[in-house]
Amino acid sequence: MKPKKRARQIKRVKKRSDRRLGKTEYLPLTDEIQQRQMKEVGYRSDGIFDPEGRKIYVLPEENTPQQDVKEHEEYHAAQRGLADMLNIDMAQDPVLRKAFRQASRGYEEQEGADTETEKGKAAFISNYMMDNPKEYEAIFKSAMGSANKRGVSLASDTLPTALSKLESLANNPETTSTNLRLLRSYIKDLEKRGDQKEIQSALSVLNATY
């Protein structure tokens, strides 16, 4: 993509994001809300975006400069536009939108997904991201943002290089974050599966300008 075209895309995405985030309310995530989420979807999150009330809920202990939970939910708030209201699931950023479309086409759901074992978590996060373009965008962008704050660019020529950077960041208590760990699990599972179309999509996201 030509730099001028990408620059215009970035400007439009930022303008929409700023406008939508300006209408969003931030509140602490309570145990009551987490229990309700558990009943509805079967798991608890450290952060939640409520599209109906345009509210972001984050656990107070996760709302720190070290963590990227709030940023993840902010991407969801920024995605809340006309397409979302019409029940059209899509990433906001054109680069992520194209990458998800290419990556998810023909994707076969991984078996053995769970949230307890390392192998099961990797399969779970791959299924989760390939099933939802909004999560695909939020996890990639939040993880890349966290890496950049720590002085590391995730831009990489190969998937093993990207995974090495993610392993180094996610395994270190000083630099780890929720979305770095999620993206590491996805990239690790993707490397194991070796789907070239999906690999190229991931690299196109990691190497794009934002």
Angstrom distance (rounded) from CA 84 to CA 135: 13
Tokens of 55: 């509210």
Place 66 in a pLDDT band, splitting at 50, 70 and 90.
confident
Over pLDDT 70: what percentage of the chain?
Answer: 100
End-to-end CA distance of the chain: 13
- pLDDT of 175 strictly over 90: yes
Please state the rounded mean pLDDT for residues 97-123: 91
Angstrom distance (rounded) from CA 175 to CA 143: 11
Q: Strand ranges (DSSP E) for the chain?
A: 25-28, 47-50, 55-58
CA distances from 61 to 28, 50, 171, 180 (A): 10, 20, 20, 17
Residue type (1 letter), 52: E
Tokens of 26: 């931030």
The reported pLDDT for the residue numbered 136 is 98
* 106-110, 169-173, 196-200: range with lowest mean pLDDT: 106-110
Q: pTM of whole model > 0.75?
A: yes
CA distances from 110 to 45, 120, 125, 164, 196 (A): 22, 9, 10, 23, 16
**Count of alpha carbons within 13 Å of 194, Cβ hemisphere only?**
1
Contact status, residue 169 vs residue 153, Cβ threshold 8 Å: no
Which has the closest alpha carbon to 16: 102, 99, 91, 101?
A: 91
Q: What is the mean pLDDT of the chain?
A: 94
* 25-28 vs 55-58, strand pairing mode: parallel
